[in-house]
Copies of this chain bind each other. A is one copy, B any other.
Amino acid sequence: MDPAVPSPALGPGAEFDLIRAIARALGGAAGPLADDCALIPDGAATLALSTDVSVENVHFRRDWLEAHEIGWRAAAGALSDLAAEGAEAIGLLAAVTAPRSVAERDLVELMRGVGEAAAAAGGTVLGGDLSSAPLWSVTITVVGRAARPVTRAGARPGDGLWVTGTLGGARAALEAWLRGDQPDPDARTAFAHPIPRIAAGTWLAGHGATAMLDLSDGLAGDSRHLAAASGVQLTLQLDDLPVARAVAPEAERLRLAPAAFAAQGGEDYELLVALPSGFAGVDAEAFRRATGLGLTRIGTAGAGAGVRLILGGDDVALAGFDHFR
């Protein structure tokens, strides 16, 4: 243990306490471990790498998704980390486990989904590994290159906070499945076929983004990582959240405000980005023309620490998803 090694600047939660404990044990053998990607200087550019594991019955159920959707979704979730860094995709490696009894067709279909996600992001399947195991899992490691990587650490007081696309769609599908219903088709697509925001991430990196991350565990939890890494307080107006159309009926069933439902919904893989105060609606319009995506201002960075979530004028407390809570 090396007391000179700084603790990763992550938000609160048992999973992140564990990462801090691991970083302490690793000492000098650890990189920073607190961003969407590991960054390796590479001539004038920077290599970005990230690894993401998807486990049957934790991240997906086989009766909810087709094999190629399991592959697409696992790959898209990992590619999203490149988007959050402002990186372009070179490719990915896929380590897959499945029972010995698996049909070859299912594994081939899963890898077809992985390959389609890689190709859609401008990359290829560079390599992989296969093993038998009692259950399905897919671990995707992505490799990309960034001209100007955007970490979680650069937001300054006065910056605006913006999100791409709409939030809550993936959770709307999840809640429908969990109670035994078929999800709304748009919600199902949001869950099964998320689009990594690679083009959006490179556009934002090129237009002054000071900090960025992707919303894999939900805005309520993930925003705390950006605040911790940047050393700022974020004030987010949940009333301004761009909520996916399918959220309203699902939120109503749970007696939640749609914005609160969406702010706690993981796996939308949209980007939360800090942009200088001068970035305005006209710039968001240019972003929409370039990427086909909405970009919505939802708050401001200020001096302090942590995240204030404001709903209907009041502070609300919402937790993020935690694997080891």
Contact = CB atoms under 8 A, between A and B. Distances in A.
A264 interface: no
Interface string A87-116: 000110111110010101001110110011
Interface in A118-138: 118-119, 124-135, 137
A237 interface: no
B26 A115 contact: yes
Size category of the A interface is 35 or more
B132 A323 contact: yes
B91 A31 contact: yes
B95 A53 contact: yes
Contact of A31 (B28, B104, B124): B124
A130 B324 CA distance: 9
A207 interface: no
A129 B53 contact: yes
A42 interface: yes
A324 B129 CA distance: 12
Given A26-B125, A37-B127, A127-B50, A134 B132 contact: no
Interface stretch (A16-24, A180-188, A269-277, A311-319): A16-24
Copies in the complex: 2
Contacts of A126: 31, 38, 40, 49
A50 B93 contact: yes
A59 interface: yes
Contact of A135 (B27, B50, B52, B134): B134
Given A59-B131, A107-B18, A141 B93 contact: yes
A285 interface: no
Contacts of A111: 22, 25-26
30 contacts: A15-B130, A18-B108, A18-B130, A22-B107, A25-B109, A26-B111, A29-B116, A29-B125, A30-B115, A30-B124, A37-B127, A38-B127, A43-B43, A47-B143, A49-B127, A49-B141, A50-B127, A51-B128, A51-B129, A51-B141, A52-B129, A55-B97, A55-B132, A58-B131, A100-B324, A129-B139, A133-B135, A133-B137, A135-B135, A143-B143
